Amino acid sequence: MAKIGLVTGAGRGIGRDIAQRLAREGYACGLIARTQSQLEETADLIRKAGGKALVTPTDVSKREQVLVAVERVEKELGPISVLINNAGAYLRKPLLEITEEDFDFQLKVNAYGPFFCTQAVVGKMAERGGGTVIFVLGSETRGGPAQYSAYNASKLAQRAIAESVAYEFMHLGVHAASLDVDGAVDSPRVREAMPNTDPSHFVAPEAICNEIVHLINQPKSSWTFQVDLRSFVQWRPRAAPKKKT
Ligand SMILES: NC(=O)c1ccc[n+]([C@@H]2O[C@H](COP(=O)([O-])OP(=O)(O)OC[C@H]3O[C@@H](n4cnc5c(N)ncnc54)[C@H](OP(=O)(O)O)[C@@H]3O)[C@@H](O)[C@H]2O)c1
């Protein structure tokens, strides 16, 4: 099968790391995000390391744009065998302050986005009898902490899409999996926000990339459908210590 990847949210952060890693694994990569300059930077990094990348500026919440990007990637690079739904919009706001527009926006990027991207590639993967679709989720889909109701609802919707795609397409040879990143991912932004935390206690982007490579190389006799990556910093006792009597 041709090694062609499509990575959404590839302009910075985790998506940039994933795209670089897929390129190192021999995948020609279509890169999706809205900001062209950031995608160009990712593509430069890939090309300087000897890989192949195509910049396709796209808003994943706009179906027509997704269809155009997928068509271009398949025409210029080849049939997409791996889709990483990583692009995400993040909102932390008290429930009473969340506007209808905020709520719509979260759903558009985090639920409609992966839905449109998956719908654009998975049918063709099934026709070819193989492919992998990975959904990058966050810890909020489990715990639902305060001030995350819009983000949480959109990511839960994404998890539901992942489950359905997995069951609908597994017998057609397409492996869909959700990768739940349960904790803060190491980045300059996170280190600045949590200066007193040992950086080795955050989820390492490399660990996320390792999981992705593991998932896409699994034989169909034994596919993983869900991965939870927990950071050391999040993995602390949740129960309050007993009061001394
Ligand atoms: N960072 C963490 O600690 C953490 C933890 C758990 C899970 N996650 C998940 O991991 C994923 C990546 O997070 P990150 O921290 O790397 O985010 P980030 O640094 O904010 O990067 C997000 C990427 O998605 C793109 N994007 C956002 N909206 C888009 C849209 N409508 N259409 C196309 N691309 C869009 C952004 O580019 P443009 O703005 O240019 O479009 C950017 O390239 C997210 O799904 C997030 O929920 C992150």
Indicate whether residue 212 lines ligand 1 (CB < 6 A): no
Indicate whether residue 86 lines ligand 1 (CB < 6 A): yes
Ligand 1 atom nearest the C-alpha of 11 is 43
pLDDT tens digits along 168-205: 999 999 999 999 998 889 999 999 998 998 898 899 99
- Give the active site residue among 112, 151, 167, 243: 151
Does domain 4-230 match CATH 3.40.50.10860?
no
Taking 70 as the threshold, does the pLDDT of residue 245 lie above it? no
Nearest to 54 by CA among 80, 88, 87, 89: 80
CA–centroid distance, residue 239 to ligand 1 (Å): 31
Indicate whether residue 109 lines ligand 1 (CB < 6 A): yes
pTM: 0.96
pLDDT tens digits along 107-155: 999 999 999 999 999 999 999 999 999 999 986 666 677 899 999 999 9
**Residue 151 annotated as catalytic:** yes
